[in-house]
Amino acid sequence: MTDRPILTLEQIDRDEALLEAVAALHGNTRADFLRTAALGSGALLAALATPASAAAADRLTDVEILNFGLRFERLQATFYSEADSVGTVGKMAAPKQRWAEVLGAHERAHVRIIKKILGDKAGKRPFFDYHGVTESEDGFTRTAVAMEDLTVALLAGVTPQVHDRKLTAALFGLLTTEARHAAWARNIVKTTPAARAFDEPQSLDNVRAAVASTRFIVARPRMTRRHRGPRFTG
């Protein structure tokens, strides 16, 4: 159950400029899928239509890149954990339930892996508020598809930027897992799992801006609501 109406991309993108940009890059099927996407996922996917500034991450250290990766993996891990704890996952059909559970487990593992690599340089866990999208199957699914595609673009963008070559190989192993998630998610929503021959990278700055526009990361813990279970850490 949602506690507030979910804004859609169609509502904020009245002249359809964003949808046209998405259609140009990803095809009309994608744009149609996005038309009614919840605002959070719409903002994430709109980021995919923005050209990456490839050089932007050059000034970043490996620790900064990994800490942003950690933040993004936590955003995903908490998202799946919350959808599970509020009962959204449990109400879905069995194959889709399995998909959501596997993705959640993988994102939580990614958080552990990146934290382990960062050691005491790991940033603090932020607070999250998904504004109701974890509470409906539709909102959850659309946001999941958007997040997975955006993670692929983020990792494709930052992997060549890391300085430690061993990390490059490690990030490739995460990139392919996220690409599998994205393909699986897309197959579930009946859109093509592999739309193009090349996955286009996104800069860390663009992804950061996209995440900020979702307002999923908040300064303070969300007020507890009656129907919620315990908070999960990601």
Partner 1 sequence: MGAWALVGGWLRPQASVGKASPEQDVEILNFLLVLEEAQAAFYDAALRSGALGGDLLAFARTVAPHEREHVEFLRGKLGGRADAKPKLGFGRATSDANRFQAAAIDLEEATAAAYIGQGANLTREAVVDAARIVAVEARHAAWIRDLAGADPAPRAADPPRSAEDVLSELRQKGFLR
User: Site residues (CB under 8 A) for partner 1?
Assistant: 54, 102-103, 105-106, 109-110, 112-113, 115-117, 152, 155-157, 159-160, 165-166, 168-184, 187, 192-194, 196-201
Minimum CB–partner distance for residue 48 and partner 1 (Å): 13
Residues in a beta bridge with 128: 217
Angle between helix 62-85 and 94-118 (nearest 10): 150
Q: Output 94 or 197, the one with its CB closest to partner 1.
A: 197
Three-state DSSP state, 38: strand
**All residues at 6 or more sequence positions from 184 whose CB lies less than 8 Å from its CB, including other chains:** 99, 103, 193
Query: Shortest distance, CB of residue 58 to partner 1, whole angstroms?
Result: 10
Judged by beta carbon, residue 200 or residue 205, the one nearer partner 1 is: 200
Q: Kindly report the length of the chain.
A: 234
Instruction: Return the SS3 of 226.
Output: coil
C-alpha 79/C-alpha 174 separation (Å) is 18
| Cβ proximity to partner 1, 113 vs 209, nearer residue | 113
Considering the complex, state which of residue 39 and residue 44 has its C-beta at the smaller distance from partner 1: 44
**Which CB, 83 or 162, lies closer to partner 1?**
162
Torsion of the alpha carbons at 120, 160, 69 and 129, rounded to the nearest 10: 160
Of 30 and 110, nearer to partner 1 (C-beta) is 110
Name the minimum Å distance from CB 71 to partner 1.
17
CB of 142 to partner 1, least distance (A): 19
The least distance separating partner 1 from the CB of residue 37, rounded to whole angstroms, comes to 20
CB of 220 to partner 1, least distance (A): 29
Of the pair 112, 215, the CB lying nearest partner 1 is at 112
Report, in Å, the least distance between residue 160 CB and partner 1: 4
Residue 127: what are its φ and ψ, rounded to 5°?
-100, 150
What Rg do the C-alpha atoms of the chain give, in angstroms?
Answer: 17
- What CA–CA distance (Å, rounded) separates 136 from 130? 11
Whether residue 52 contacts residue 206, with contact meaning beta carbons closer than 8 Å, is answered with yes
| Pairwise CA distance, residues 88 & 68, whole Å | 28
